Amino acid sequence: MKQWMKGLGLSLAVGMAASSGPVMGQSSEELKETVRGLDFDAFTTEDRQEFCGAVRNVSDQMSQQLPMAVDAATQLVGVSTLFVNDVCKVNYGYVITERPLFEMLQGVISQQAGEQVPMAFVEQFYGEGEGYQALQNGIRQELAGDPDFSVLLEVPFVQISARYNIVGEHLKPFTIRFGH
């Protein structure tokens, strides 16, 4: 195993699971420092493939633990990793159940408004146009801002795709992509 692989191993799960906490004795901050310390510009195709293989091992292990609740409305149902054209592609699959999502959003909006906002408003607003885009942007910011998930975002040859399928009638499925 190459020198740059030391310290990564299964601790990559910290960055992939996004909410798993410390793994194998390495905190998310230590993992970030390990990743930041790597000279990705010097990586050969073989190095990239080996790094991606370590990520794939973690995604395979995560797959055995799925489905995994993310919150009251969202479940992680799939994760896979592929090395294609010198790029490590990490794919997440989620299912969002509309009703609990809209109930959470209704609570937040009602609190901000100081009065109960009708569910019909929430369904209409988030089901199309500006609200639909705001929902996707909020999820994108939450993913990118998560200190554990963001570890993989720092690797220049990693592309992350998060596909959200919907259980309900107001939202359409969508995909959020990160990477180069």
- Give the model's confidence band at 79: pLDDT under 50 very low, under 70 low, under 90 confident, else very high: very high
* Residue 87, both tokens: 């790029």
* Helix-then-strand count for the chain, H and E: 7, 5
- Residues 3-22: what's their mean pLDDT? 39
For 123-155, how does the pLDDT look when each residue is reduced to its tens digit (9 = 90+)? 999 998 899 999 999 999 988 887 767 888 889
Exposed / middle / buried, residue 34 (Cβ in 10 Å: 0-12, 13-18, 19+): middle
Q: Which residues of 6-31 are buried (b: 16+ CB within 10 A; e: fewer)?
A: ebbeebbbbbbbbeeeebeebebeeb
Strands (E), 86-180: 87-97, 158-167, 174-179
* Residue 17, both tokens: 């699971």
Q: What angle do CA 143, 149, 155 make, to 5 degrees?
A: 115
Other beta carbons less than 10 A from residue 62's beta carbon: 20
For 98-118, how does the pLDDT look when each residue is reduced to its tens digit (9 = 90+)? 999 999 999 998 998 899 999
Q: What pTM does this model have?
A: 0.81
- Give the model's confidence band at 31: pLDDT under 50 very low, under 70 low, under 90 confident, else very high: low
Q: Which domain holds residue 118?
A: 3-179
- Give the model's confidence band at 39: pLDDT under 50 very low, under 70 low, under 90 confident, else very high: confident
At position 93, the amino acid (one-letter code) is G
At position 35, the amino acid (one-letter code) is V
Rg (CA), the chain: 18
Counting the structural domains of the chain, the total is: 1
pLDDT recorded at residue 17 = 38
